Amino acid sequence: MVDRKTIEVGMIRNIEGRPWKVPLRDEDGEVVWEDKETETPKLVPADTFSLLHAAIFSIPPRIHAKNDGMRSQQLFNAIQRAKDRGAVRATTQDDDSVQWTGRLVLHGEVYEWIQRVLAREVPITKAEKDMGLNARELASHLWGLSAYTILRQLTDVDSRKAEEDVDLEEPEELGAGRGPVEEEKPGTTPGFGVADG
């Protein structure tokens, strides 16, 4: 039996719950410019497909792996099959972008490849190192603080449900998992020591 993973397709949201934005692309995949002179792309809310497209084409050449070309082709084929079979549906927005909703079924190897690519460490340049910057995973490099939120949206539906079930469990006692609970003493503020007074 072939291992399959399912990703929920829909609008991608950032850490604040707002739509993540990506450049609008025409039917040929070319960027649509808001202002061509300043090379400012027209930004639109990202859906799962446009986000994956932007992420794959943003992989820095210095971290390319041998099978990236094959796996990215398999990913784009799966996206096209989902569109052709009606597994996802398109809605045209006021800004001329298309939002896709539904489910994308991927072979396990392609799904795992996406997760590994986004976890690859992007090496830094000497100039960045001199500025005190550290190497980051590609997801953090692309999406900053929203990386965790966006990665959860690209996680297999069954894995997300299991993770959400764990998140909803009540702690056994107040303060569980946060270390010892400090007793409040007169004249102190918990966690801060002596209160000003």
Evaluate whether residue 119 is within a structural domain.
yes
Give the chain's length: 197
* 35 vs 172 pLDDT, higher one: 35
Evaluate whether residue 186 is within a structural domain.
no
Evaluate whether residue 138 is within a structural domain.
yes
Answer yes or no: is pLDDT of 189 > 50: no
What is the band of 193 on the pLDDT scale with cuts at 50, 70, 90?
very low
Can you give the residue range of the structural domain that contains 105? 4-169
Tens-digit pLDDT profile for residues 99-122 = 899 999 999 999 999 999 999 999
Evaluate whether residue 101 is within a structural domain.
yes
- The percent of residues above 70 in pLDDT, for the chain, comes to 81
Chain Cα centroid distance, residue 25: 19
Evaluate whether residue 20 is within a structural domain.
yes
Q: How many domains does the chain have?
A: 1
Q: What φ, ψ does residue 14 adopt, rounded to 5°? A: -85, -175
Evaluate whether residue 191 is within a structural domain.
no
Evaluate whether residue 90 is within a structural domain.
yes
* Mean pLDDT for the chain overall: 84
Evaluate whether residue 16 is within a structural domain.
yes
CA distance 144 to 153: 15
User: What pLDDT does 27 receive?
Assistant: 79
What is the band of 97 on the pLDDT scale with cuts at 50, 70, 90?
confident
User: What pLDDT does 187 receive?
Assistant: 52
77 three-state secondary structure: helix
CA distance 161 to 180: 30
**Which pair of structure tokens corresponds to residue 124?**
């830094």
What is the average pLDDT across 64-86?
A: 94
Tens-digit pLDDT profile for residues 114-157 = 999 999 999 988 998 999 988 899 999 999 999 999 999 999 99
User: What pLDDT does 191 receive?
Assistant: 43
Beta bridge partners of 75: none
Q: Helices 68-85 and 108-119: crossing angle, nearest 10°?
A: 120
10 three-state secondary structure: coil
The residue among 99, 30, 106 whose CA lies nearest residue 72 is 106
